Amino acid sequence: MGKKGNNKGKQVMNVQIPDLKMSLNLRCILTASQCLVLHHLLHLIMKMMVSSNLHLKALIRGSYSYSYQLLETYSHELMSVDPDAVTDILTGPGDRFECFFWRYGISVRVYKKNLRPVVIVDGTFLKGRYPGTILSAIAVDGNNHVFPFAFAVVMKEKNDSWDWFFTKLRDHVVGVDHQFILLSGRHKSIIQGVPKILPNAVHMYCSYHMSGKFGHKKIKFLVQESAKTLNQQEFWGNMLGIWVLSSKAHEKLMDVGPLEKWASAFQEKSRFLSFTLILQIWNCDNKSCGELEQNDHWRKNDASYYHCFNDTR
């Protein structure tokens, strides 16, 4: 009875700090005021830890805002190393940042002279303090490795952003009369912008994006097999398998549009769609790191491009 009386007016508090690698669990018998003080103390400690972590990253890699201020300097340095490189900064009202496009001279020359006439475009979101999206255009080399050659940082994927990127791609990479395969997801802005700005491009859809719309693993596999097979009988066999598994999935695929938009067996001009997974691999590589880590990733790419350019000059 005496022990119970000592706990009157007090509370039992479980304290957990999930952000620490070693979880700290405290089971204490505290008064309400002590619980409140401990709660504020722990909140203050966690806030200080986050702030110090961001401060250390800023000291090592630079701050987010300062990185954007260096874009003009970066463009100037890039042009001094690679005279054939192209950069363009688009600003809005109040001289606020809107878009930034850049491409390297050596990579465009390699694409035009040595690589297949295929351009893969997609966008992936930025992680970090400032929102945004990286739009990229990549090719595939003889070993089916990713070969990126044009990039843009925009606020988000919308009609104006994709039109601006396609215009830069036409003016500074592929040219007006160049005929090539353009492979992408089925984003509405891409579907509307390609025929308007790149009329000579044969626009086709990425099977990986299409298969991602279905939850059934077998259907995903059959969609990708249907897209890459060059035999029409095999294509219809795969489609029959999809219909057996789900008539709704079969109907959804048939409503995508003309078969030549996504099935290689019906594409007469080229047979280059055996590497559609490259698009997702490239995006996963970008999404696996935050914005500051992406800056390091681009710096490494820049260094390799500079090295290639100096070797070929």
- Calculate mean pLDDT across residues 36-46: 72
pLDDT at 263: 87
The pLDDT score that the predictor gives to residue 30 is 57
**CA 74 – CA 163 distance, rounded (Å):** 24
Does residue 57 or residue 286 have the better pLDDT?
Answer: 57
Q: Please write the tens of the pLDDT for every residue from 196-211.
A: 999 888 888 888 888 8
35-44, 60-69, 256-265, 270-279: segment of lowest average pLDDT: 270-279
- Tell me if residue 82 falls in helix, strand or coil: coil
With beta carbons less than 8 A apart as the criterion, state whether 265 and 195 touch.
Answer: no
- Report the pLDDT value the prediction gives residue 290, as an integer from 0 to 100: 45
| Contacts (Cβ under 8 Å, ≥6 apart) of 157 | 123, 133, 135, 187, 189
Q: Is the pLDDT at 233 greater than 70, yes or no?
A: yes
Of 60-64, 242-246, 248-252, 287-291, the one with minimum mean pLDDT is 287-291
d(Cα 174, Cα 80) in Å, to the nearest integer?
Answer: 23
Give the range among 17-21, 166-170, 182-186 with minimum mean pLDDT.
17-21
Residue bearing tokens 């601006």 = 164
**DSSP H or E run through 269:** none
pLDDT at 312 over 70: no
Return the minimum-mean-pLDDT range out of 88-97, 240-249, 272-281, 302-311.
302-311
Dihedral sign, Cα of residue 104, residue 154, residue 132, residue 94: positive
What average pLDDT does the segment 155-166 reach?
Answer: 90
What pLDDT, on the 0 to 100 scale, is given for residue 267? 79
Q: What is the CATH number of domain 66-206+276-312?
A: 3.30.420
| Distance separating alpha carbons of residues 150 and 165, to the nearest angstrom | 9
Residue 293: what pLDDT?
46
Is a pLDDT exceeding 90 seen at residue 164? yes
Higher pLDDT, 61 or 273: 61
- Rounded to two decimals, the pTM is 0.69
* pLDDT computed for residue 152 by the predictor: 92
Domain ranges of the chain: 2-61, 66-206+276-312
Question: Does the pLDDT value for residue 258 go beyond 90?
Answer: no
Q: What is the mean pLDDT of the chain?
A: 75
